[in-house]
Chain A
Amino acid sequence: MTQSKSTALDITRRQTLQAGAVAGVAALAPEARAKETAIAPASGKESGSPVAIATRINGARVSLEIDARASLLDMLRERLGLTGAKKGCDHGQCGACTVHLDGRRVASCLTLAAKVDGREIVTIEGIADGDTLHPMQQAFIDHDALQCGYCTPGQIMAAIACVREGHASSRDDIREYMSGNICRCGAYVGIVAAIEQASAKMRKG
Chain B
Amino acid sequence: MRQLTYLRARTTTEAIAAFTRAGADARYIAGGTTLYDLMKLGVERPMHLIDVSSVEHADRIDTGGDRLFFGAGALMADVAENEIVRHDYPVLAESLSKAASQQLRNMATVGGNLLQRTRCPYFRNGAGGIYPCNKREPGSGCAAIGGIDRGQAVLGTSSACTAVSPGDWPVALTALDATIELIGPRGARSVPIADFYLLPGSTPHREFAIQPGEIITGIAVPKTPAGARSTYHKIRDRESYAFALASAAVALTLDKGRITTAHVALGGVGTRPWRARQTEAALQGQPPTREAALGAARAAFANARPGRLNAFKIELGARTIADAVVIAAERNA
The answer to whether A and B interact is yes
A interface residues, Cβ below 8 angstroms from B: 47-49, 51, 68-69, 71, 90-92, 95, 98, 101, 104-107, 110-112, 114-115, 117, 158, 161-162, 165, 167, 175-177, 179-181
Additional A-B contacts beyond A115-B8, A162-B102 (20; CB < 8 A): A47-B3, A48-B4, A49-B4, A92-B33, A95-B101, A98-B103, A104-B77, A107-B33, A107-B104, A107-B107, A110-B36, A110-B37, A110-B107, A114-B8, A114-B49, A117-B8, A177-B102, A179-B240, A180-B103, A181-B101
* Complex interface bits, B266-280 against A, C-beta within 8 A gives 1, otherwise 0: 000000000000000
28 example contacts (A-B, Cβ-Cβ < 8 A) are as follows A47-B3, A48-B4, A49-B4, A49-B5, A49-B6, A51-B6, A68-B6, A68-B49, A69-B3, A69-B39, A90-B40, A92-B37, A101-B106, A105-B102, A106-B103, A106-B107, A107-B107, A110-B104, A112-B29, A112-B49, A115-B51, A117-B8, A158-B102, A158-B103, A161-B102, A175-B240, A180-B104, A181-B101
Which residues of the partner chain A approach B240 to less than 8 Å between Cβ atoms?
Answer: 175-176, 179
Which residues of the partner chain A approach B32 to less than 8 Å between Cβ atoms?
Answer: 110-112, 115
Q: CA A92 – CA B101 in complex, angstroms? A: 9
Task: Decide: A180 and B241 in contact? CB cutoff 8 A.
Answer: yes
- Let me know if B53 is at the binding interface, CB within 8 A: yes
Task: Decide: A115 and B53 in contact? CB cutoff 8 A.
Answer: yes
Number of interface residues of B (CB under 8 A): 27
Task: Decide: A180 and B100 in contact? CB cutoff 8 A.
Answer: yes
Which residues of the partner chain A approach B239 to less than 8 Å between Cβ atoms?
Answer: 179
Task: Decide: B101 and A112 in contact? CB cutoff 8 A.
Answer: no
Which residues of the partner chain B approach A177 to less than 8 Å between Cβ atoms?
Answer: 102
Closest Cβ of chain B: how far from A107's Cβ, in Å?
Answer: 5
- Let me know if B24 is at the binding interface, CB within 8 A: no
* Complex interface bits, B76-112 against A, C-beta within 8 A gives 1, otherwise 0: 0100000000000000000000001111101100000
Nearest B residue to A91 via CB reads: B37
Task: Decide: A95 and B103 in contact? CB cutoff 8 A.
Answer: yes
One of A69, A158, A167, A175 near B4 (C-beta < 8 A): A69
* Complex interface bits, B1-45 against A, C-beta within 8 A gives 1, otherwise 0: 101111010000000000000000000010011001101100000
Q: CA A177 – CA B81 in complex, angstroms? A: 13
Which residues of the partner chain A approach B4 to less than 8 Å between Cβ atoms?
Answer: 48-49, 68-69
Which residues of the partner chain A approach B37 to less than 8 Å between Cβ atoms?
Answer: 91-92, 110
Which residues of the partner chain B approach A69 to less than 8 Å between Cβ atoms?
Answer: 1, 3-4, 39
Which residues of the partner chain B approach A104 to less than 8 Å between Cβ atoms?
Answer: 77, 106
Task: Decide: B241 and A106 in contact? CB cutoff 8 A.
Answer: no
Q: CA A119 – CA B61 in complex, angstroms? A: 23
Which residues of the partner chain A approach B100 to less than 8 Å between Cβ atoms?
Answer: 180
Q: CA A112 – CA B51 in complex, angstroms? A: 10
Nearest B residue to A71 via CB reads: B36
Which residues of the partner chain B approach A91 to less than 8 Å between Cβ atoms?
Answer: 37, 40
Nearest B residue to A117 via CB reads: B8
Which residues of the partner chain B approach A71 to less than 8 Å between Cβ atoms?
Answer: 36
Task: Decide: B102 and A180 in contact? CB cutoff 8 A.
Answer: yes
* Complex interface bits, B104-138 against A, C-beta within 8 A gives 1, otherwise 0: 10110000000000000000000000000000000
Q: CA A168 – CA B5 in complex, angstroms? A: 41
Q: CA A109 – CA B36 in complex, angstroms? A: 9
Task: Decide: B106 and A106 in contact? CB cutoff 8 A.
Answer: yes
Instruction: Select the residue from A47, A114, A175, A181 with max chain B CB neighbours within 10 A.
Output: A114
One of B3, B33, B102 near A110 (C-beta < 8 A): B33
Nearest B residue to A176 via CB reads: B240
Which residues of the partner chain B approach A181 to less than 8 Å between Cβ atoms?
Answer: 101
Q: CA A179 – CA B99 in complex, angstroms? A: 11
One of B29, B36, B106 near A105 (C-beta < 8 A): B106
Task: Decide: B102 and A48 in contact? CB cutoff 8 A.
Answer: no
Which residues of the partner chain B approach A180 to less than 8 Å between Cβ atoms?
Answer: 100-104, 241
Closest Cβ of chain A: how far from B269's Cβ, in Å?
Answer: 23
Q: CA A92 – CA B106 in complex, angstroms? A: 12
